[in-house]
Amino acid sequence: MTRLTIPRIASFVLLVAAIATAADKPTHTYLKGTITGYDTRLDNQPWAAGVFGGTNRNGGGDTKRRAKVYELKGTDLVYQIDYCGSFQEGAFEAGQAVDYRVDGDRLFILREDAKEYKCKVEGKKAIPVAKPDAPPAKP
């Protein structure tokens, strides 16, 4: 047995373990949705004071951030989402179709490169259901 045999065997075992672990990753089911628009709001970010400077009466500081809050119409709910990373800076338009999934208070939008935008769900509401026409009155 040569000096390199043991490191080669160990490397092979680690490679096989990594492949087996990757195969165990769950596949996600995505739903179809539509970006219906967005609104902007001004957020205070007190946690950023030490980074960006500024002070207030408590010795800390507040940093203002203009946030885009997108509205995504899903299959059964309308979601208000923000803090989506580069999704916020993208050229997304009203009426654009997206594939998404929800996990707790996070909503993930599938990107074209099979990665995901991770967004925070700020709110959700039921999709209004159209009421059927009233039956004709009895004579």
Higher pLDDT, 3 or 59: 3
Answer whether 0.75 is exceeded by the pTM.
no
Tell me how far the alpha carbon of residue 97 is from its chain's centroid: 15
**Which range (42-46, 96-100, 134-138) has the least confidence?**
134-138
Q: Give the pLDDT score at 47.
A: 54
**Taking 80 as the threshold, does the pLDDT of residue 109 lie above it?**
yes
**Which range (41-45, 77-81, 131-135) has the least confidence?**
131-135
Backbone angles phi, psi at 62, to 5 degrees: -120, 140
